Chain A
Amino acid sequence: MQYRISFPHMGKYYIPIKKAMEAFVGNYGEVILPPPITKRTIELGALHSPDFVCVPFKYTLGNFIEALENGANVLFQIAGDCRLGFYSEVQEQILQDLDFDFTFHMMELNGKNAKGLYEVFKAMNPELTLPKVVSTLAVVVRIVYAMDGIEKYIRQNIGFEVEKGGFERIEKQFLAEIATAETMPQAGRIFKKYLKKLKTVALNKPAKPLRVGVVGELYVLMEPFSNYFIEKELAKFGIEVERFITASYLIFSTQHNVKKILKQADGYVSYEIGADGTDSVAKSVVMAKKGYDGIIHLKPFGCTPEVNSIPMVNKISEDFEIPVLYFSFDAQTSETGVKTRLEAFYDMLEMKKRGRAL
């Protein structure tokens, strides 16, 4: 049988994941990407999900359904420390009840699981070797770092383009080219080439622009559709955006370490509060100390680790006099409501900066 592998979307990370899975499955299958997330994706996902489950469950379930409709028969989902830990089992059951025919795999979200990957794919591709898995992962990790590096530069500067659209055009070319990288040095060269290209884009950036950091739950931070393209909206106001939570940070970075995170949190939290909650506190402290103008805290409605982080983030806001805007997202969040609050937040930061009313 031909394996047709699929997995949920999250930002642009389908590029490295697709690359890895294609290499792993070899001649025994192919990767079927779910269609890009649209309103239909979240409607399908919400329709078949428990009402009160957090919204990434609904998005990823919608991805699975749309992938299965396009012929996928092997699905991958990640695991985690919060409700994400039960996504796989519940989604598998729901999709079975919908009479789809597929096999389902749950993978740990960490960078050290080469052996686990090898075993899963060996069952599909008898020619697969462990060294092949390891060498593929090495390139893929480099690609993820390259993507995150490029995106970081874009986030910080896209709000100040003299001519709109330059960054987006270069990013598109970059993504197309980085997908073709076969070795680590090649990926590194592509990264450098495009970072240089980005730096030639003319900017009209003040010496001290408004700087806003986004913290919160990983999925709504990294999947722009689920946060109503909040980073793009902030850029429209001419704001420099910072975000620490990226795939390279979460999966591969040695900085993503409880001890280091708690140290950054500097007494605002002294023990882990689950999933990314601890990091939301720590990164808020980091940005407050660096003199950022504001923090935006994003979470799926009902996300327990992030609810845990809110009292500490509130305290940081008070101590450092840094405003925090909170958003809870669900499947039916009103886009207008998000835009209204963002505009008011921007007005407030602008007033604070000027030291007088508009």
Chain B
Amino acid sequence: MKAYLGVDIGSISTKGVIIDGDNRIIANEYLWTEGNPIAAVKGVVESLQKQIAPEVQVMAVGTTGSARKLIGVVLNAQIVKNEITTHAIGTMSRVPDVRTILEIGGQDSKIILLRNGIVTDYAMNTICAAGTGSFLMSQAKRLGLAIEELGEMALQSENPTRIAARCTVFAESDLVHKAQIGHKKEDIVAGICTAVVNNYLNNVGKGKRILAPIVFQGGVSKNVGVVRAFEQILGHEIYVDEFGHLMGCLGAAVLAKNSGVEQLFDFNIQEVDFVTKGRECELCSNNCEIIYIYRNNEVLDAWGNRCERGLSA
């Protein structure tokens, strides 16, 4: 049976899926990247291989996420695609009539608008990390809670505390103040969830026409408190897919499948030694940081140079 591999290598986590010819997920894995994308991908690929039957043949590979280029070289991928496009493609393969994708990840957030199955507009946060998972993480820590507890606790609140949503710094000082004057913990937690949503809608969502069906994904979509805040503010039902965290790699796999280029994927990358070496070019004061990637001591590829001279030196 033919199958297709998609890998999404983010700064925080690495996700992988194998899909069949009908875009059905037949294997999936989610691991922490821990600053070592190559090791994380080896782990993901190993786990995926264990989940599939021996007759399954992976015929094409797609990569996405911030390490897509590096891992694209490592996996000899047919498709190396930005995360905005892959998320749209992946989500559409699950919810074909989706018109709005809200996404909040660990360090970034985006909104994708689709009409009739094509992306018509998108935005990605550009300046700050307010209203993303890392903000929730730091505030949970401040309140002595585990990040997983936040959502359920927020649901218990009947009177969410009003917390400034504009900026992480203001939100945090607001939150400290509200806690000290006696607001209940669940109200504060619910307030944080609302602040994340308001921040998102005022930043990436600004000026965008949000139409249902709405899909919410990314790590923060696991937080039911944020989901409820979105539903209350937007006045629409929000759909959260159980595979919401896999949409990027799913989209990459779909695109690899659609690429029409097939080559049997060799799962045997565990034993292959991939090493990257960085070097600062000194030929001019741009000082480009050039990255070389080696497979078993042989240069596979290099990038980061602004001009041709960089590679020859």
Contact = CB atoms under 8 A, between A and B. Distances in A.
Interface in B238-256: 255
Given A341-B84, A341-B124, A318 B209 contact: yes
A137 to B, nearest CB: 34
B120 A328 contact: no
B207 A348 contact: no
Interface stretch (A142-150, A280-288, A350-358): A350-358
Contact of B84 (A39, A328, A344): A344
B122 A344 contact: yes
A357 B89 CA distance: 7
Interface in B257-313: 258, 284-287
Contacts of B89: 357-358
B83 interface: yes
Majority-rule SS of B interface residues: mixed
Most buried by A among B83, B84, B287: B84
Contacts of B124: 337, 340-341
Contacts of A321: 120
Contact of B119 (A35, A314, A351): A351
Nearest to A41: B285
A351 B258 CA distance: 14
Contacts of A347: 81-82, 84-85, 119
B126 A352 contact: no
B77 to A, nearest CB: 15
A347 B255 CA distance: 12
Nearest to A339: B82
Contacts of A111: none
Contacts of B12: none
Interface string B73-98: 00000000111110011001000000
Contacts of B207: 311, 314, 318
Interface string B38-54: 00000000000000000
A344 B118 contact: no
Interface string B200-238: 000000010100000000000000000000000000000
Contacts, number: 73
A200 interface: no
A108 interface: no
A348 B117 contact: no
Contacts of A40: 285-287
A344 B84 CA distance: 6
Interface residues of A, number: 29
Most buried by A among B85, B258, B284: B85
Contacts of B1: none
Contacts of A336: 66
Majority-rule SS of A interface residues: helix
Contacts of B209: 318
Interface string B124-156: 101100000000000000000000000000000
A352 B118 contact: yes
A14 interface: no
A343 B118 contact: no
Contacts of B286: 38-40
Interface in A26-40: 35, 38-40
Contacts of A343: 81-82, 85
Contact of A328 (B83, B126, B287): B126
Contact of A351 (B83, B118, B284): B118
Contacts of A300: none
A301 interface: yes
B34 interface: no
A336 B118 CA distance: 24
Nearest to B110: A344
Contacts of B85: 343-344, 347-348, 358
A199 B105 CA distance: 48
A277 interface: no
Contacts of A323: 120-121
A332 to B, nearest CB: 11
Given A39-B285, A39-B286, A358-B85, A337 B117 contact: no
B19 to A, nearest CB: 16
Contacts of B258: 358
Contact of B284 (A38, A327, A328): A38
Nearest to B85: A347
Most buried by B among A301, A351, A352: A351
Given A343-B81, A344-B119, 17 more contacts: A35-B285, A38-B285, A38-B286, A318-B207, A327-B126, A343-B85, A344-B83, A344-B85, A347-B119, A348-B118, A348-B121, A351-B119, A352-B119, A352-B120, A357-B89, A357-B92, A358-B85
User: 4 tightest CB-CB pairs across the interface, nearest first?
Assistant: A344-B84, A40-B285, A38-B285, A347-B85
